[in-house]
Amino acid sequence: MTLYDVPAPAKLNLFLHVVGRRADGYHLLQTAFRFIDLADTLHFEARADGAIGRAYELPGVAESDDLVVRAARSLQRATGTRQGAQIGLHKRIPQGGGLGGGSSDAATTLIALNRLWGTGLSRSQLMQLALPLGADVPVFVFGQSAFAQGVGEDLTAVALPPAAYLVVQPDAGVPTAAIFSDPDLTRDCASVTIADFLALPTSCFGRNDLEPVVLRRYPEVSGAVRWLFEHGLRVRMSGSGACLFAEFPTLPEAVLAQEEITATMRVAGKTTSHTHPGFRLVQASTGLTEHPLRNWIAS
């Protein structure tokens, strides 16, 4: 019996600029993606009957809407394989937090099943299957830190310096569509170049154009940003939120910041764990140079 247990890493948007809008309503973006070692784990077991079985539950997500199931069926249709799979999923990445958890799970499904089934699609072919599943799915198949343009499909690999991140999850669910449709969203940010981005430390470059809208609409997020800033931690939002992150040169520094914030909460009598009213500290994470499964795909 053939089976795999494989990671699906989270991503951070180190900056996110909205530079325009197409006639079909899609927003034109510039952003930089980086993977971190905060990851979901997926389990794949081959089935000879052609069925795609889901051995897990996602609250509020029907099987027909599950990106993992959709990715598996998309690969079946594209290749004509009669093989199936039983799929398990252990979630660690916060859902709907701007960390790309669902997109990463879908990309890992394409990569792992392409190998498990021996369907032999190239990276570019898998990326073509990835885009209809969501704008962030292709970068996980691309497999490297990337400068992205367009609707997220125009990807250029970039070499980023070592860094670590402390991820914070505010107690808010942020619907992406509502943020992009907000009339106050900046949609005409000046375009930048890759050279512009690489010329400055990543923690100092640009901004997230979605962040002001989210801060205005969600007091849980603005409250977390304010509290953390008052206690020495400058954070930025990833994607459309609500998750926030702070960058550090090394993992020990990120861990120390996590410990200091936690201690401050305890002294204030607010908590006895990693929970604070309004947010929680998710994990101190290392920035990755590439996707853990990048070498599973023939270029």
Which CATH number belongs to the domain containing residue 52 in this structure? 3.30.230.10
Does residue 298 sit within a domain?
Answer: no
Asked if residue 270 has pLDDT above 60, the reply is no
Does residue 228 sit within a domain?
Answer: yes
Task: Share the mean pLDDT of the chain.
Answer: 94
Q: Which of 122, 141, 157 is the last residue of a domain?
A: 157
In this structure, are 138 and 231 located in the same domain? no
Asked if residue 152 has pLDDT above 90, the reply is no
In this structure, are 11 and 134 located in the same domain? yes
Does residue 205 sit within a domain?
Answer: yes
Residues with Cβ within 8 Å of residue 209, at least 6 apart in sequence = 16, 17, 18, 185, 186, 189
pLDDT in tens, 213-267: 999 999 999 999 999 999 899 999 999 999 999 999 999 999 999 999 988 877 7
Does residue 265 sit within a domain?
Answer: yes
The predicted pLDDT at position 276 comes to 58
Mean pLDDT to the nearest integer, 193-199: 97
Task: Give percent of the chain with pLDDT exceeding 90.
Answer: 87
Helix (H, G, I), strand (E, B) or coil at 276: strand
pLDDT band at residue 38, thresholds of 50, 70 and 90? very high
Helix (H, G, I), strand (E, B) or coil at 127: helix
Does residue 217 sit within a domain?
Answer: yes
- The pair of structure tokens assigned to 26 is 């899609």
In this structure, are 196 and 283 located in the same domain? yes
Mean pLDDT to the nearest integer, 271-299: 84
* Cα–Cα dist 246/100, whole Å: 17
Beta-bridged to residue 169, according to DSSP, are 280
Asked if residue 268 has pLDDT above 80, the reply is no
Mode of pairing for the β-strands spanning 3-21 and 236-237: unpaired
In this structure, are 67 and 88 located in the same domain? yes
Does residue 297 sit within a domain?
Answer: no
Q: Which of 142, 157, 172 is the last residue of a domain?
A: 157
Which of the residues are catalytic?
A: 11, 136
Provide the whole-model pTM: 0.95
The predicted pLDDT at position 3 comes to 82
The predicted pLDDT at position 205 comes to 96
Number of independent structural domains in the chain: 2
Asked if residue 2 has pLDDT above 90, the reply is no
In the chain, the largest separation of any two C-alpha atoms, in whole Å, equals: 60
Q: Which of 124, 157, 190 is the last residue of a domain?
A: 157
Does residue 113 sit within a domain?
Answer: yes
In this structure, are 12 and 60 located in the same domain? yes
In this structure, are 102 and 223 located in the same domain? no
- The pair of structure tokens assigned to 173 is 């669910």
Asked if residue 55 has pLDDT above 60, the reply is yes
Angle CA(72)–CA(112)–CA(125) in degrees, nearest 5?
A: 70
Asked if residue 283 has pLDDT above 80, the reply is yes
* Cα–Cα dist 187/115, whole Å: 40
Binding site for ATP, by residue number, is 94-104
pLDDT band at residue 59, thresholds of 50, 70 and 90? confident
Binding site, by residue number, is 94-104
Kindly report the three-state secondary structure assignment for every residue of 149-205: EECCCEEEECCCCCCEEEEEEECCCCCHHHHHCCCCCCCCCCCCCHHHHHCCCHHHC
As a residue count, the chain comes to 299
In terms of residue numbers, what domain contains 234? 163-287
